[in-house]
């Protein structure tokens, strides 16, 4: 049973072929994984993961030390792999402590993004790297703590204002696969009250929708203005 639970958990963030049948968000998570793998080698030295959750991508980074930071809640203490807790305001670290910072699908849950990015700048060394991912087209999630969506232009403006220079900006799932993924997200939401029904739909219905979407994306053109996630690698060039 433990092996099955571990397999399902792994497939949520590192979906393989098995993930087609157990992960309703296969397309989105696969896209994130590919980008993180590509950019992960840039994350080096002592690294802070802000909003670390279960640290699903830690092994894809080249860091020497990895510290997970989360807001102090009962759920986070019981279900996540956290090293340091805080109150959601000032990070409990000294200035210029970290060589790299990762924050994955967190910024949309931050009501005060300017203060959040100022704290990231404060604890990051000069020329340190920031790897940030954030959804663009997605449903409201983790309600009521879902506050914003960011375009690539909005993120570029925010990061420049807070002392960062973008090295690479990637748009994950910028083709037809966006539609089957959103359809699966819809089915997931309307079946989530009944776990058995949701699992059956995931295995027999959503997997087919995913496969059809992947196949159609091979022949239909991309659209760089409509996509699921932003993945940005940035360099700190100034203190703010």
Alpha helices in the chain (DSSP H): 2-13, 19-22, 26-39, 74-79, 113-123, 152-161, 178-191, 195-201, 207-217
Least confident of 42-46, 72-76, 146-150: 72-76
Question: 81-131, pLDDT tens digit by residue?
Answer: 999 999 999 999 999 999 999 999 999 999 999 999 999 999 999 999 999
CA dist., res. 138 & res. 146, Å (int): 11
What is the CATH number that goes with domain 2-236?
3.40.50.150
What percent of the chain has pLDDT above 90?
93
Residue 1, pLDDT above cutoff 80: no
**pLDDT of amino acid 6:** 80
Question: 158-185, pLDDT tens digit by residue?
Answer: 999 999 999 999 999 999 999 999 999 9
The radius of gyration computed from the CA coordinates of the chain, to the nearest angstrom, equals: 18
The token pair at 4 is 């099955």
Q: Where are the domains of the chain?
A: 2-236
Residues paired with 101 in a beta bridge: 48, 130
**pLDDT of amino acid 75:** 83
C-alpha torsion angle, residues 203, 205, 208, 214 (rounded to 10): -100
3-state SS, residue 130: strand
Mean pLDDT rounded to a whole number for the chain: 96
DSSP assigned state of 66? E
Using CA atoms, how far residue 10 sits from 33, 56, 76, 131, 175, in Å, is: 12, 8, 18, 21, 25
**pLDDT of amino acid 232:** 98
Question: 207-239, pLDDT tens digit by residue?
Answer: 999 999 999 999 999 999 999 999 999 999 999
Question: 7-22, pLDDT tens digit by residue?
Answer: 888 999 999 999 999 9
**pLDDT of amino acid 8:** 85
The token pair at 100 is 């790299």
């Amino acid at each position: 049973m433990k092996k099955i639970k571990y397999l399902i958990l792994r497939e949520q963030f590192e979906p393989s072929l098995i993930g087609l049948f157990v992960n309703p968000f296969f397309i989105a998570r696969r896209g994130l994984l590919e980008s993180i793998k590509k950019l992960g080698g840039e994350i080096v030295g002592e690294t802070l993961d802000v909003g670390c959750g279960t640290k699903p991508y830690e092994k894809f980074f080249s860091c020497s030390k990895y510290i997970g930071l989360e807001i102090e809640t009962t759920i986070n203490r019981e279900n996540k792999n956290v090293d340091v807790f805080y109150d959601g305001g000032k990070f409990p670290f000294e200035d210029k402590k970290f060589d790299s910072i990762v924050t994955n699908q967190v910024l949309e849950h931050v009501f005060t993004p300017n203060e959040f990015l100022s704290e990231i700048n404060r604890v990051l060394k000069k020329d340190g790297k920031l790897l940030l991912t954030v959804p663009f087209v997605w449903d409201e999630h983790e309600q009521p703590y879902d506050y914003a969506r960011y375009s690539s232009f909005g993120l570029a403006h925010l990061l420049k204002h807070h002392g960062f220079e973008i090295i690479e900006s990637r748009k994950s799932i910028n083709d037809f696969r966006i539609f089957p993924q959103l359809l699966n997200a819809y089915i997931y939401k309307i079946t989530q009250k009944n776990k058995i029904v949701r699992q059956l739909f995931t295995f027999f219905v959503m997997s087919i929708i995913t496969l059809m979407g992947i196949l159609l994306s091979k022949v239909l053109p991309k659209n760089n203005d409509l996509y699921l996630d932003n993945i940005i690698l940035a360099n700190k060039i100034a203190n703010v």
